[in-house]
Structure formats: structure tokens, C-alpha cells
Chain A
Amino acid sequence: MFRLLSLFRFCPLVLVCLVAGAAPLPAPAATASVPTARYWVYLRDKAGMHFEPAQYFSAPARARRLRQHLPAADSTDFPVRPDYVRGVEQASDSVLFVSRWFNAVCCRATPAQVRALRGLPGVMRVEAQTPLVLLPTAKYPAVRMSSPEPLTAAERYLARQQTASLGGQAFQKARLDGHGLRIAIFDVGFNGTDKHPAFQHLFRDKRVVATHDFVRNRESVYGGGSHGTEVLSCIAGRLPDGTPLGLAPQAEFLLARTERMLREVYVEEQDWLAAAEWADRNGADIINSSLGYTNRRYFPEQMNGRSSLVARAAGMAVRKGILVVNAAGNDGDDAEWRTIGTPADGDSVLAVGGIDPDTYLHIEFSSYGPTADRRLKPNVVAFGTVLAATPRGYEQVQGTSFASPLMAGFAACAWQQNRQLTVRQLFEQLQQAGGLYPYFDYAHGYGLPRASVFMSPHQAKIPPQVDFSKKDSLLSVIIRPEAAFLPGFPLPMFTDSVAALTPGEALKAPKLGREAIVGPAPVEAAAAPLPRPTDYLYWHVASAEGVLRRYEVREVRQRVVVQIPLRTLQSGDLVRVWFRGSMLSYLVP
């Protein structure tokens, strides 16, 4: 009885403590019994600070700025004023991180201390920071799709295709393998990376340049989770027979553990920011981030590239000349979210969606665009199912987490080919390399990039393969006769009409007297071949502002392939059709 009554008397305190993480009891100073919360203290200026870029930045970081004609340093690189930091240290419980980029200090403090912090000279504002969950964009729990070994023929085929689909052979032929590029990977951990045979070449050649665990503030990152191992393998991993799993096996790497991968683990945005500043200082050319924030803190309508600190941090990294490649997210089949996460929503972040290796079409879970402010996302796509190195060997895994590093490797090769490109030029060229460019939609972006675009930039322009026909109340898209032949499958005008065959392919009647009884033709097999990416016709309707109203992908089975009721179109709308490498547009008068 006494104990129960005691519990009752204690209950109000227990109740308060449950919400005290962000609303602690007021107290004059932090003690063990007074809970603290995380806050960002934004400072006013960096007056009087001096900065020596040659001392602070590594040689690759300086070279990157020089190549891209960026100043050796700007005010965001200058250190935070130590007197301000000291003030925050004295007025708070503890300082967790100091950000040069945002001229801010992350600290733990009680509400009383926050009031004191607000009164400090140089403090512009103090913002509470809410614990977040940063969810890896891998498709969990169905990520393991195969046993670790032995590898099947299908898995070996997939391993080859995940790079071949991007034109990896063309890069290999031109000896473009990421050499001279430095890629930073932010992830939940790199279990077994240092011992895995897939990465032997990296450690043998000392190409893992630096590592840092921002969660535990230590050097080693080879624990905490294997997601980073899988991601790294999609840039630089190799099968035992030497087959590359990614396109940049000769790049250098910075490995950062920014998040935990455990149950109910909360992380903070500043880990990502801290890692980005660290990567900048250490000369990263590319950041691959297969992570994304979604509905624990944000709403889909906030995915505009401005709402989250991590998106602003990614934007700042781009300003420093770093290409940020981020997975689009795995929420495409989640009706509650569906759209990309952040920082993939950032304007200058290359968001990578996933496609199905069998159909080359959007894979179900890959998050869709556009952003909340109706910008195109994802920018490009790559395989969403890959063979990756895991601590257990090699396994087939799914997620846009793996499309992103495939693309990061691709970007490394493209940049290696022309090191004079600025990050924005590279970003544009990567989009232009998309198989659908200049067509786009919100499932595929500009499509699957092709290395051949970088190898032979002046490719012959493919003439339009379709025509528009406006008749009565319909706008029809008709495949041109010269494009109306699929290999082994001539297209009829309509599927219920008599098939039109080319003279060469027309079945010849047997000579008289030579007729023979033949079995029934394999009608279904002949009539329903598996669709090929080259047979797809993409079309969309864009508003006068360039925002898509509707988009579709169709398998071409007849020449009159699309019929759009004119009443569904508005004046100024643009109908675009992409078929076999060329795009044709129709402007609605």
C-alpha cells in the first residue's frame, strides 16, 4: 500500500519527466536531476576573425576550389568567434558541435540556460532541436533477397548489369574509374568494410583516406551497421572475379558514420552537417548520402529544399563545389508519404530514384517527385535492385540507397573525364546524360544516364519517331511508319486490324504440294513478348509553368499509341512524347 501511494505521489513528477526532453523544469543551473535539451545557438557575426585556408583545408579541398574558380574561402569557412563559443560554453550545459557554415553552436541546455543564452552578446537566436530519426533509404526489411553465397548466374548477371546499364564499359574503355576523385559517404556504419575482400584494393592502396564516427566521436566507422558497406560496394566494390559492383573503384574515400542503425535510435541533423563540413575540409568532390528524413519531423508539403537544416547543409556543400548525390527515398509505395525525403529535395542535390532491372521502369518503392514547390525530382535513376557486398559476402539488396552510389560512381567518372567542370555544370551534364533527356517525369527524372553521352558528346540527333494528329475531339500520337517495326513484331495500325508485315518478314506461303501440318502457333508467346525499354513510349502533359499534370509510360503495341481527349487539355499545355531516343512536343493553342 505504502509503495503504491508513494508511486501515486511521485506520479506527477514522472508524468512531467516523460515530456521533459523538450520542456524541462526551470532551474537556475544544469544539474544531474534537471533534464537538458539540444539547442542551436545562431551567432551574429564573425567580426575580427582571421582565416588561413592553406592551414585549414587539405590540399584536395584547395584544389577543388581552385578548379571550380571558387574563392579560397568565404565567410562561411571562417571560424566561429571563440569568445562567442566560450560564452555559450559557460552559459550552457555542454557544447556538442560548432558549425562554421551556419555560424552556430549546438549545445545542451536547460530552459533557464536558454534564457541566459538569448541574452549573450552575439547571440542572434536560439532554436530548440528535436530528436530525429534518419531512416536509411534501403528497402527494409525485405532488403535481403538472396543467400550470401554461392552467387547464382542471375546474381552475377545483375552485378554486371548494374554498371553496364549506365554504360560502365564505355567508362572502363576510356580508363575512367574515379581515379583522383574523393568521395565521402555518410551512412549508419560500415561493418566489415575493412576486412571484406570486395574492398581489399581500397585498403591496399590506402584509398580510404579518412574515417570519422560522428555519433560516437571517434575514428573507427567499421561498426554500427552494414548499410554503409553495401552502399560503398556500389561505388567501389568488386566480386572475387574482379567484376566491379560500382563505377569508381579507383576513387578515394572519406567514410563518415552519421547515424545509428538500431531500434528506436534518434539522431540529430547536425551529424550530417558536421560530416559535410568535415568532408569539405578533407577535400571531398562528391558526397553520397543514402539517407533521408521523412515523416517523423516533416510533412510532404515541406519537402521544398528549404525546410530542413540538412537540405540547407547540402546546399551549402554544393556552394563549396561538392556534388551531393542523395537517394530519392523508398516511400513510393507509402500512400501517406510517397514523395522524396530530405535532403533529396534540395534544389542542387542530385536525387536518384530506382528502376527495376528487369523492366527498366520505376521500381515500386522508389519515391516520386515533384518537390513540394513543384520542382523536378528525382533527377535521374539507376538500378534499385543490386548485388552488394555485405558482411556475409555478396547479396542482392533493394533500395534507392543503392541507386545513389551507382550514380555517385557514374558522376565520379564523368568528372574525372573533365576536371574543369564546375559542380553545377556537372549536375547539368549528368541530367543531360539521362536516357530520356530532355523528356522527364516524376518517376524517372531524366532517366538512366548513359556514359556514351560523355564519351561522344556530339551524337547524331535522332529524328522524331512520332507525329501528332488532331482530329475531332482527340489529339492522337501516331508512330511514324518507319519507326513502326519492332524487331520480330510488326505493329498494326490498331490491334484488331490485320497485321502489316514488311515484305522481308512476311511469311512465305509454302510451295504447292509442300504444305505440311504444323502445330498451333504459340500465340501467347508471340503476342505478348516481354516489354523492352526501347519499346516504351513516354508522354506527359505539362502546364504552361512546366509542371506536369499527367504522365504515362506505355508499351507500344500499335501505331496509334495515345489518344488524348482535347477537353482534358488546357490552353498553353505542352504535350511531350518520347519514343526511341527522340522527343516531340505539341503546344495546345
Chain B
Amino acid sequence: MLLLTVLVLAGLPVSTALAQRVLLQSEVASDTLYSGFGPNRGYYNHLYLGYAPVIGEASAPGAALRYGASGDFFVGIRNKVRLHQALAVGIDLRLDWLTYSLVQNAAKTVPNAQQHSTENLSLQQLQTEVFTRFNVGRRGNAIGRYLDLSGWGGYVIGSSHSYTDRPGTNGTRKTVVTERGLSYVTRWPYGVGARVGSGRYALLLRYRLSDSYRGAEKELYPEMPRWLVGLELGWL
């Protein structure tokens, strides 16, 4: 916007005060240019974050999870290209922290049968997700209400197995052990998803198609639950 409103203020330098002052100015053509960027314009991008708890059961006993504590926290940037008032496509890039908090019981086999006070398997991932958006209803330059259908994939940039024992060894209050770079987790997870949203809020559903483990552990360990259901908040 090229509009300027310059009000005369006492105390301005004399040279400025004497100059010809433009109090208001508008170049109509440029001031009324319609942006191609916006929530319902040709292109839009925005940041978002969310949390999606893991739901469902492992494929066999041995990897029971603490629900609520097991989930996926993510932050990312969404890019959307509008094709039509009711149709858009887009791609997300996000950082993703997935944690499986393991229940400590006699049946536990992942990653071993040892029991601790708490035990987590954590994966840090860089993910991308392509989606097709179906919008509902007429609207202006607003996100509106929508249904997204997506496919996602990523790379595990870090993995860890950590546990806490209380009391700890050698008389300590607690012992925390973290093992990084797990060789048995899948490096390239992928899956499909769906999202319904209104404005900045969305309810999401993700299903992992890839297996959790690779190598010999793939046969040995029960497969982790494949579903995530969570909420997402857009920073529009």
C-alpha cells in the first residue's frame, strides 16, 4: 500500500517543515491490486502445530502403550495452492516427535522383557505430506471448512530408547538410561491421512502403512498401533 498520511508535528526540523508536504497519497491501480496470497487465494502458506495421541492396540501382546502419553507432537509449514473455490492441493513440511510410552508388565517384549519405572521409544522425524483439500460452502478470503485427504512420508532423523529406574542403581534415587540410534526402527515411515477443519482448527486422522521395525525385529516385535487421532492448530 502506497498510502501515506503525514501529519505535521511540532518540532520537526525547519527544512522539513518548509518543504511541500504530501498529507495523503494514493496510486489507485497499485493500491487496489488484489493479492494472490491469502487463505483462499491462489497461494497460501502458514505454520501449524498439533498433537495426535496414538490409538489402538499393538498387533500382539508385548507392546502395551500408555495412552495419552503415547503420541505425536508436530510443527510444520503448510503450502496450499487453490484450484477452485472448493478444491485445493498442498504440501506440508513438518518436524515430528513420535513417542511410544510402554506399559511395564510381564508380557512386555519391546524392546526387551526388562521392566522399568517408565520406558519410551521415541522417533524424531522429518515428514512431508501432500494433500487434496475439499472445501465446503461459499466463503471469502478465509480458510473455511474443509476435508483434506493426504499421503505422507518421512525420514527418521533420530531415534531413542529411554527408561527410568526408581530407585536407581548403587543407591541413587533414580537412573535414566537413553540409547540412541536404534537400528531396528524403520527409517522411512509412510502412510495416509485425513483432516477436517474449520478455520485454524482441525481434527486429524493418520494411518501408518509402513511397519515400525525392520530386520529381525520386524518378526520379533509386535507391530505398534497404526492410528493417530489428534488436533491441529494453524497459525494463520
Asked whether, in the complex, the Cβ of B19 is within 8 Å of the Cβ of A495, the reply is yes
A4's partner among B14, B21, B55 (CB-CB below 8 A) is: B55
Query: Is B215 positioned at the interface, with any CB of A under 8 Å from its CB?
Result: no
**A1-B67, A14-B203, A296-B140 are known contacts. Are A364 and B5 too (CB-CB below 8 A)?**
yes
Q: Please report whether the interface of chain B is mostly helix, strand, loop or mixed according to DSSP.
A: mixed
Asked whether, in the complex, the Cβ of B32 is within 8 Å of the Cβ of A548, the reply is no
**A300-B34, A528-B12 are known contacts. Are A555 and B23 too (CB-CB below 8 A)?**
yes
Identify the closest chain A residue to B205 (Cβ): A11
B103 to chain A, nearest CB (A): 10
| Residue numbers in A under 8 Å from B205 (CB-CB) | 11-12, 15
Query: Is A370 positioned at the interface, with any CB of B under 8 Å from its CB?
Result: yes
B6 to chain A, nearest CB (A): 9
B23's partner among A14, A298, A529, A536 (CB-CB below 8 A) is: A536
| Residue numbers in A under 8 Å from B136 (CB-CB) | 19, 21-23
Query: Is B216 positioned at the interface, with any CB of A under 8 Å from its CB?
Result: no
Q: Bound complex: CA of A361 vs CA of B5, how far in Å?
A: 9
Asked whether, in the complex, the Cβ of A368 is within 8 Å of the Cβ of B31, the reply is yes
Query: Is A299 positioned at the interface, with any CB of B under 8 Å from its CB?
Result: yes
Q: Bound complex: CA of A548 vs CA of B196, how far in Å?
A: 45
Asked whether, in the complex, the Cβ of B19 is within 8 Å of the Cβ of A338, the reply is no
Query: Is A297 positioned at the interface, with any CB of B under 8 Å from its CB?
Result: yes
Asked whether, in the complex, the Cβ of A524 is within 8 Å of the Cβ of B55, the reply is no
Query: Is A582 positioned at the interface, with any CB of B under 8 Å from its CB?
Result: no
B139's partner among A296, A549, A551 (CB-CB below 8 A) is: A296
Find residues 293-316 in chain A having any chain B CB closer than 8 Å to their own CB: 294-302
Q: Bound complex: CA of A549 vs CA of B210, how far in Å?
A: 60
**A5-B55, A19-B146, A130-B139 are known contacts. Are A370 and B19 too (CB-CB below 8 A)?**
no
Query: Is B170 positioned at the interface, with any CB of A under 8 Å from its CB?
Result: no
Asked whether, in the complex, the Cβ of B7 is within 8 Å of the Cβ of A8, the reply is no
**A1-B57, A7-B229, A336-B38 are known contacts. Are A361 and B24 too (CB-CB below 8 A)?**
yes
B196 to chain A, nearest CB (A): 4
Q: Bound complex: CA of A5 vs CA of B226, how far in Å?
A: 12
B50 to chain A, nearest CB (A): 15
Query: Is B112 positioned at the interface, with any CB of A under 8 Å from its CB?
Result: no
Asked whether, in the complex, the Cβ of A15 is within 8 Å of the Cβ of B194, the reply is yes
Asked whether, in the complex, the Cβ of B137 is within 8 Å of the Cβ of A336, the reply is no
Asked whether, in the complex, the Cβ of B14 is within 8 Å of the Cβ of A523, the reply is yes
| Residue numbers in B under 8 Å from A23 (CB-CB) | 136
Query: Is A525 positioned at the interface, with any CB of B under 8 Å from its CB?
Result: yes
Query: Is B94 positioned at the interface, with any CB of A under 8 Å from its CB?
Result: no
Q: Bound complex: CA of A7 vs CA of B146, how far in Å?
A: 21
| Residue numbers in B under 8 Å from A552 (CB-CB) | 22, 24-26
A549's partner among B27, B146, B196, B198 (CB-CB below 8 A) is: B27
Q: Bound complex: CA of A436 vs CA of B15, how far in Å?
A: 30
Q: Bound complex: CA of A527 vs CA of B18, how far in Å?
A: 6
Q: Bound complex: CA of A18 vs CA of B204, how far in Å?
A: 12
Q: Bound complex: CA of A1 vs CA of B66, how far in Å?
A: 9
Asked whether, in the complex, the Cβ of B145 is within 8 Å of the Cβ of A21, the reply is yes
Query: Is A557 positioned at the interface, with any CB of B under 8 Å from its CB?
Result: yes
Query: Is B28 positioned at the interface, with any CB of A under 8 Å from its CB?
Result: yes
Find residues 200-226 in chain B having any chain A CB closer than 8 Å to their own CB: 203, 205
| Residue numbers in B under 8 Å from A7 (CB-CB) | 55, 229
| Residue numbers in A under 8 Å from B56 (CB-CB) | 4-5, 8
Asked whether, in the complex, the Cβ of B23 is within 8 Å of the Cβ of A553, the reply is yes
Asked whether, in the complex, the Cβ of B8 is within 8 Å of the Cβ of A551, the reply is no
Asked whether, in the complex, the Cβ of A527 is within 8 Å of the Cβ of B14, the reply is yes
Find residues 318-361 in chain A having any chain B CB closer than 8 Å to their own CB: 335-339, 359, 361
A330 to chain B, nearest CB (A): 15
| Residue numbers in B under 8 Å from A12 (CB-CB) | 205
| Residue numbers in A under 8 Å from B23 (CB-CB) | 359, 361, 531, 536, 553-555
A15, A22, A301, A335: which has the most chain B beta carbons within 10 Å? A15
| Residue numbers in B under 8 Å from A21 (CB-CB) | 136-137, 145
| Residue numbers in B under 8 Å from A554 (CB-CB) | 20-23
Asked whether, in the complex, the Cβ of A338 is within 8 Å of the Cβ of B1, the reply is yes
Q: Bound complex: CA of A557 vs CA of B17, how far in Å?
A: 9
Contact code string B168-203 (vs A, CB < 8 Å = 1, else 0): 000000000000000000000000001011100001
Q: Bound complex: CA of A206 vs CA of B17, how far in Å?
A: 55
| Residue numbers in A under 8 Å from B229 (CB-CB) | 7-8, 11
**A1-B57, A359-B7 are known contacts. Are A18 and B203 too (CB-CB below 8 A)?**
yes
B217 to chain A, nearest CB (A): 24
Contact code string B68-102 (vs A, CB < 8 Å = 1, else 0): 00000000000000000000000000000000000
| Residue numbers in B under 8 Å from A4 (CB-CB) | 53, 55-56, 67
B137 to chain A, nearest CB (A): 4
Find residues 518-549 in chain A having any chain B CB closer than 8 Å to their own CB: 523-525, 527-531, 536, 547-549
| Residue numbers in A under 8 Å from B40 (CB-CB) | 299
Among all A-B residue pairs, the 10 with the closest Cβ atoms: A528-B17, A553-B24, A22-B137, A495-B18, A555-B21, A298-B140, A18-B196, A295-B140, A130-B137, A15-B196
**Which residues of A are in contact with B by a Cβ distance under 8 Å?**
1, 4-5, 7-8, 11-12, 14-16, 18-19, 21-23, 128, 130, 294-302, 335-339, 359, 361-362, 364, 368, 370, 441-443, 495-496, 523-525, 527-531, 536, 547-555, 557-558, 561
> Apart from A18-B196, A297-B139, A551-B26, what 4 extra A-B contacts exist at CB < 8 Å?
A15-B196, A296-B139, A530-B10, A555-B21
Q: Can you list 29 pairs linking A and B with CB atoms under 8 Å apart? A: A4-B56, A8-B56, A12-B205, A15-B147, A15-B194, A19-B145, A21-B137, A21-B145, A128-B137, A130-B138, A295-B141, A296-B139, A299-B34, A302-B140, A335-B1, A337-B141, A338-B1, A364-B5, A442-B28, A443-B26, A495-B18, A524-B11, A527-B18, A531-B21, A531-B23, A550-B26, A550-B27, A553-B25, A557-B18
**Which residues of B are in contact with A by a Cβ distance under 8 Å?**
1, 3, 5, 7-8, 10-12, 14, 17-29, 31-32, 34-35, 38, 40, 53, 55-57, 67, 136-142, 145-147, 194, 196-198, 203, 205, 227, 229
